Amino acid sequence: MTEKDKSKVVYTLLIAAFLVVAYNQFALAGISGGMVAQTKAAEVRTGQPEIKYNSFALQQAIDSVIPRGVPEGYGKELGVDYEKPEEALNIMAALDGDLYEDGKLKFSDMSSAAQKRYVNMGMSVACEFCCGATTLIQRNGQPACGCAHSAAMRGLMKYLLINTNMTDEQIMDEVLKVKSISFPQQMVQRYMEQSGNVQSSGITGQTIGSLPQQIGGC
């Protein structure tokens, strides 16, 4: 199986999990050099020992799903490079014309068929780690929250619907990559827990406390 095939399998599993757990209670991701961390260890936050994970499994998950480099099909045209995650988020957020007056793409720009697809996808994913919203959009196609992370996901979703022939599954693959670079720590923790790789608070293993909780601003 090629690396591309492996990546497709991973993100397909993510999409399925989003639909099972109320509005996107699943995800995964990783972290690349250059990310600006806003990190607090779980032990400091809760007063409890931080959960540890199988070190190999944790690194393998990060290596398998982290978006790196220029995404195929749209990255070069938009100027998106996941090695520069904060800059990538800003570029994609600027596409969201329903949130920003100078945004390039609006819900009204899409065909009725694309609008329906946009609503269905936007109602199945959220930016809950930042603002607590349970969806990216409202049923009328307008933003459900005003954070830059959700704007980036909405902006990319609209761009791909308007400019490509991608399926909903393929588009959600790309949207999950945006969420991955936005919330590395939470996404990795959720993925590892659902993968059954928790080692509890024992001596061995590796924690995720060094990963950023958030990249970019709300």
- Which H/E stretch holds residue 118? helix 112-122
Instruction: Give the count of domains, the chain.
Output: 1
Looking at the domain assignment, is residue 211 inside a domain?
no
- 137 DSSP β-pair partners: 143
| Cα dist from 157 to 120, 182, 204, 208, whole Å | 11, 16, 41, 29
pTM of the full structure: 0.75
| Predicted confidence (pLDDT) at residue 114 exceeds the cutoff of 90 | yes
In a domain, 75, yes or no: yes
For residue 57, name the pLDDT band (cuts at 50, 70, 90). Answer: confident
115: containing domain: 3-194
For residue 200, is it within any domain? no
Please report whether residue 94 resides in a domain.
yes
Residue 136 identity:
L
For residue 217, being part of any structural domain is answered with no
Is residue 22 assigned to a domain? Answer: yes
215 falls within a domain: no
pLDDT of residue 39: 33
Burial class of 159 by CB neighbour count within 10 A (0 to 12, 13 to 18, 19+): buried
CA angle 65, 78, 30 (to 5 degrees): 20
Half-sphere exposure of 109 (CA within 13 A, CB side): 16
pLDDT score of 153 more than 90: yes
| Residue 14 pLDDT greater than 90, yes or no | no
